[in-house]
Amino acid sequence: MINLSINNIPVSVEEGTTILQAAKMIGVEIPTLCYHEDQSVKANCRICLVEVKGAKGLLTACSTKVFEGMEVFTNTRAARDARKTVLELILASHPMDCLKCIRNQKCELQKYAAEFFIEELPFERTYQILPKDESSPSIVKDLSKCIKCGRCVEVCQSIQSVGAISYSHRSDEYRIATLFELPLNETVCVYCGQCSLACPVGAIYEKSEIEKVWKALGDPEMHVVVQTAPAVRVSLGEEFGMEPGSIVTGQMVTALRMLGFDRVFDTDFTADLTIIEEGNEFLQRLKNGGPFPMFTSCSPGWVNFVETFYPEFMANLSTCKSPQQMFGALAKTYYAQKMGISPDKIFVVSVMPCTAKKYESAREEMNSSGFRDVDVVLTTRELARMIRESGIDLKKIVESEFDAPFGITSGAGVIFGASGGVMEAALRTVYEVVTQRELGKLDFEDVRGLDGIKEAVINIDGLEVKIAVANSLSNARHLVDKIKSGEREYHFIEVMCCPGGCIGGGGQPIGTVNRVRNERIKSIYEVDANMPIRQSHKNPVIKQLYDEFLEKPLGERSHHLLHTHYRA
């Protein structure tokens, strides 16, 4: 342990701790705009300046490690003045249109401006209003607001290994840009939205489709249904001040009813359906000798990544559409028939923790009913905005239940929301289908948690099935490269684009860091453990759907409505 003092208060911390981290441990927040707890240290913004006895000049707290006997002072006149000057310089080049900014009240720069109480800027305003890049169906990039902290670059390059954005130019011209300053939709961007979570201000955010939803809700001709993704129920509460990982399923359903949706359904239902189709596809591949490994295909950022970086692996992707898209296809066929409503009068809204889902729903092949499967995708953040705009306090409203028929779900459906969940859900079903024996223990702990790559070998009636699970695209890249080089072989691989899986999706509440992801993961498995049915093939409504409509897994109708193809 290292012993030091911060503002005359003794503190003992582990070797390697930075001043910023040590100060936080004793309740002193040193301002910083480029530091991110899940990223490497950048020391770009230089607002975290502190004094250290014996050091020449001020030091950046985020990049300076503590040493034995160190005496740190965070509040000297020099430190406070220097920080204020850095902040004033950033503000001088910022539009400061806080009232109409998407990050109003959730902006780290705004928070410091308030804390430092900057009434007037001593510098000339140098900000430029640049055109926003709205080319992507998922993400809006507004360089006018960029403070060049580099958090988005790091997440895009290091955590996602995509590299759609990077540092560009020098000195005054220094900025964050795409290659050749191309619009995002002409880059390798996979629309994961992780950059929007990392951004401390309003420079990158989801493309909002709230107005389209209000319009549909206000149209008496339209029957508006909503589906909610597994991961939203354990994150939405954070938008209303609840603890990370609070389970708000019942309140979310009530809020959606209050907003005016005609039916509130659960994507967990079509997650169960995905297990039946994908499980059978896997069994078919086992019979036909491949192609292996089979990759899951429900995470659209991952599908985009394969199409862009590994097109030679496209035949390895499961042909199953994602649960979101399966839901849309069924809503406009089976459900429309059951309800006696023309499919052109059914408007399907999804609430997803994901920005890439906006792109997925807009893909031209996602219309096998003859109508667009899903009309609008809202992120968790957008739904929270609609709820707030309606004056609903999620903390205070009663709980209610999803509607039938797509509200009856299993625990296997809900664990889709966490990395490893799709694999575990598939194993819970495939094992029983193959062996015709009940699985004693339903929990496959080896594939749970935040580790980047998880592997296991599962014995299914003498067959050693090699599986792997990857979350975040850098881990996926690592795994695929090993398969490509022949270093590793697997039968079945789950990949989720975002760190931790959908619970860590790019459309989740601002403040999604690994600490928070862990809380959400715990809650997902808690919901699962408390479900009366925990295996997809035991969901009675899935059985009914096959009896009444789809006939059989991988049958003609299933192929037409529930499966897809990929683009090079």
- The catalytic residue positions are 278, 281, 298, 318, 357, 360, 365, 502
Binding piece for ligand SF4, criterion CB under 6 A, among 79-87, 162-170, 450-458, 560-568: 162-170
Size of residue set near ligand HC1 by CB under 6 A: 19
At residue 519's C-alpha, the angle toward residues 297 and 2, to 5°, is 120
Nearest residue by C-beta to ligand HC1? 502
> What does 162 interact with, of ligand HC1, ligand SF4, none (CB < 5 to 8 A by kind)?
ligand SF4
Identify the residue among 202, 505, 509, 553 touching ligand HC1 (CB under 6 A).
505
The secondary structure element, H or E, covering residue 211 is helix 210-217
Identify the residue among 22, 70, 113, 195 touching ligand SF4 (CB under 6 A).
195
Tell me how far apart the alpha carbons of residues 379 and 115 are, in angstroms, rounded to a whole number.
30
The reply on whether position 230 binds ligand HC1 by CB under 6 A is yes
Strand intervals (E) in 239-328: 263-266, 294-295
The reply on whether position 194 binds ligand SF4 by CB under 6 A is yes
The reply on whether position 237 binds ligand SF4 by CB under 6 A is no
The reply on whether position 267 binds ligand HC1 by CB under 6 A is yes
The reply on whether position 203 binds ligand SF4 by CB under 6 A is no
Identify the residue among 34, 79, 101, 165 touching ligand SF4 (CB under 6 A).
165
Tell me how far apart the alpha carbons of residues 533 and 435 are, in angstroms, rounded to a whole number.
20
Identify the residue among 45, 61, 195, 231 touching ligand HC1 (CB under 6 A).
231
Q: Which is nearer to ligand HC1, 178 or 322 (CB)?
A: 322
> What does 160 interact with, of ligand SF4, ligand HC1, none (CB < 5 to 8 A by kind)?
ligand SF4
Tell me how far apart the alpha carbons of residues 437 and 424 are, in angstroms, rounded to a whole number.
17
Only one residue has tokens 């900000």, namely 127
The reply on whether position 512 binds ligand SF4 by CB under 6 A is no
The reply on whether position 353 binds ligand HC1 by CB under 6 A is yes
The reply on whether position 415 binds ligand SF4 by CB under 6 A is no
> What does 357 interact with, of ligand SF4, ligand HC1, none (CB < 5 to 8 A by kind)?
ligand HC1
The reply on whether position 378 binds ligand HC1 by CB under 6 A is no
The reply on whether position 324 binds ligand HC1 by CB under 6 A is yes
Binding piece for ligand HC1, criterion CB under 6 A, among 133-141, 226-234, 392-400, 445-453: 226-234
DSSP characters over 480-514: HHHHHTTS---SEEEEESSTTSGGG-TTSPTT--H
Token pair for 447: 């594939």
Tell me how far apart the alpha carbons of residues 494 and 319 are, in angstroms, rounded to a whole number.
14
> What does 562 interact with, of ligand HC1, ligand SF4, none (CB < 5 to 8 A by kind)?
none
The span from the first CA to the last CA of the chain, in angstroms, equals: 54
Q: Which is nearer to ligand SF4, 162 or 502 (CB)?
A: 162
> What does 417 interact with, of ligand SF4, ligand HC1, none (CB < 5 to 8 A by kind)?
ligand HC1
Give 97's contacts (C-beta < 8 A, 6+ positions apart). none
The reply on whether position 299 binds ligand HC1 by CB under 6 A is yes
The reply on whether position 192 binds ligand SF4 by CB under 6 A is yes
3-state secondary structure 175-194: EEEEHHHCCHHHCCCCCCCH
Q: Which is nearer to ligand HC1, 267 or 535 (CB)?
A: 267
Q: Which is nearer to ligand HC1, 145 or 428 (CB)?
A: 428
The secondary structure element, H or E, covering residue 205 is strand 204-206
- In degrees and rounded to multiples of 5, residue 291 shows phi and psi of -70, 140
> What does 155 interact with, of ligand HC1, ligand SF4, none (CB < 5 to 8 A by kind)?
ligand SF4
Query: Which whole-number Å values give the CA distances from 402 to 261, 349, 425, in the listed order?
Result: 12, 15, 21
Tell me the closest approach of the beta carbon of residue 559 to ligand HC1, in angstroms. 18
The answer to whether 538 and 410 are in contact (CB under 8 A) is yes
The reply on whether position 275 binds ligand SF4 by CB under 6 A is no
The reply on whether position 160 binds ligand SF4 by CB under 6 A is yes
> What does 190 interact with, of ligand SF4, ligand HC1, none (CB < 5 to 8 A by kind)?
ligand SF4
Binding piece for ligand SF4, criterion CB under 6 A, among 45-53, 155-163, 225-233, 410-418: 155-163
3-state secondary structure 357-400: HHHHHHCCCCCCCCCCCCCEEEEHHHHHHHHHHCCCCCCCCCCC
The reply on whether position 562 binds ligand HC1 by CB under 6 A is no
Tell me how far apart the alpha carbons of residues 547 and 545 are, in angstroms, rounded to a whole number.
5
Length, in residues, of the chain? 568
Identify the residue among 145, 357, 372, 448 touching ligand HC1 (CB under 6 A).
357
Helices and strands (DSSP H and E) totals, the chain: 19, 17
At residue 89's C-alpha, the angle toward residues 85 and 95, to 5°, is 140
> What does 479 interact with, of ligand HC1, ligand SF4, none (CB < 5 to 8 A by kind)?
none
Tell me how far apart the alpha carbons of residues 325 and 144 are, in angstroms, rounded to a whole number.
35
Identify the residue among 4, 298, 387, 392 touching ligand HC1 (CB under 6 A).
298
The reply on whether position 140 binds ligand SF4 by CB under 6 A is no
The reply on whether position 189 binds ligand SF4 by CB under 6 A is yes
> What does 475 interact with, of ligand SF4, ligand HC1, none (CB < 5 to 8 A by kind)?
none
3-state secondary structure 410-423: CHHHHHHHCCCHHH
Token pair for 85: 């000057």
The answer to whether 366 and 327 are in contact (CB under 8 A) is no
Tell me how far apart the alpha carbons of residues 427 and 432 are, in angstroms, rounded to a whole number.
8
295: which strand partners?
317, 493
The reply on whether position 417 binds ligand HC1 by CB under 6 A is yes
Q: Which of 530, 279, 259, 551 is nearest to 422 (CA)?
A: 279
The answer to whether 226 and 264 are in contact (CB under 8 A) is yes
Instruction: Return residues touching ligand SF4 (CB under 6 A).
Output: 139, 155-156, 160, 162, 164-165, 189-195
Instruction: Return residues touching ligand HC1 (CB under 6 A).
Output: 229-231, 267, 271, 298-299, 322-324, 352-354, 357, 416-417, 501-502, 505
